Amino acid sequence: MSQISTTRISKELLKFQSTSTLNLVQPTDSLTLFYVDLKVEGNEAVYPPDDIYRLRFIIHPEYPFKPPQVQFITTDQHTTKPYKIPMHPHIYSNGHICLNILYDGWTPANTLHTVALSVQSMLSGNSVNARPEGDKSYCSSAPLNPLHSKWVFDDDKV
């Protein structure tokens, strides 16, 4: 990882200290893997207030010029606690998230914190308790890394 990446990530991590509904988890001293536990407030009809969802960020060596790999996970090697994949028309049951800023819309102006806030906001504004159309088909053939999927962004209403 470059010095630019290391310096940038170190600064970005401080942003999480001021957000009570986003909890940064750094399982190792490496700056290449992070988890963000997020809560959704004000949308109890879709997301129970006690549910916590875990996002995994795998940092690209060319970050911030290349986007991190971001997806929801149900388990990880650092804890035995199970997590749920939130229901949303743009979140697949394998944890892949159809959100432009994670792929084609990524710019170096985005940060780990703004990505987590965008995902949290996407959930907060959701009123549909459903998976995307074609979820089963996509998940049966999707690559492990969501950055390798070909996304089509045409629905910004949800």
Specify the residue for token string 């432009």: 100
Smallest Cα–Cα separation from 36: which of 142, 126, 112?
A: 112
139 part of the active site = no
Smallest Cα–Cα separation from 38: which of 50, 52, 24?
A: 52
Q: For residue 10, what is the enclosing H or E element? A: helix 3-13
Assigned token pair, 104: 């084609």
**Between vectors from CA 65 to CA 99 and to CA 132, what angle results, nearest 5°?**
10
Q: For residue 73, what is the enclosing H or E element? A: strand 69-73
Contact predicate 31/1, CB 8 Å? yes
Give the active site residue among 98, 112, 119, 147: 98
State the Cα–Cα distance between residues 92 and 72, nearest whole angstrom: 9
- Catalytic annotation, residues: 98
